[in-house]
Amino acid sequence: MDRTSRSRPPILPDRIRRIDGQSFAFLPHRFLQDGFLGSLTADEQRLYLFLLLAADRHGTSFYHYDRICSILEMVGDDYIEARNGLLAKDLLAFDGSRFQILSLPPKPVYKLSAPLRPGHDLEDNDPATVRQTILASLDHQRRRPTR
C-alpha cells in the first residue's frame, strides 16, 4: 500500500473542517492536482478565491468590482486583468453584474508569454534585470556623499 492511500488521523481531530450553514465554498482536488492553480497569476488566484468564497451553491456572486478591489486591495487595472484572465481560462463567467465560478474545464489554460527582446524590453519586463537595476541604484545612493 502506498503512502497516499493509507488513512492517517488528522493532527487536530476537534478542528476538522465541515460545510456549515450558508457557506458552500469548495475546490475540487483537480484544481491543484491537474495544474489549474499553477496556471493562474497571483492576482487571478486571489480573485478566484474571493469569488469562490463569495459564491452561492450555484457558484454565483454579485459583488461589484469596487468592493472586490477594496477587499483585495487591488487596483482596477489589476482586477480587470485578473478577471479577464479567469474568463480566458474558462474558470469564470461574467455578465456585467454577476459572476459564476464554472466547473473545471478538461485541462488548464496557460498564458504563453512573449519572448523578451534585448534593450528596453529586458530592462522593463525581466524580473532579474529589474532587480539588478534596483539594487545597483540603491547601492549608488548609499555611496553618494551627504551634504
How is the chain split into domains, by residue range?
23-101, 115-147
pLDDT in tens, 72-94: 999 999 999 999 999 999 999 99
Task: Report the C-alpha gap between 57 and 25 in whole angstroms.
Answer: 8
Please tell me the pTM assigned to this model: 0.68
* pLDDT of 6 over the 80 cut: no
Chain segment 94-118, per-residue pLDDT in tens: 998 899 999 999 999 887 666 656 7
State the fold for domain 23-101. Answer: Arc Repressor Mutant, subunit A (1.10.10)
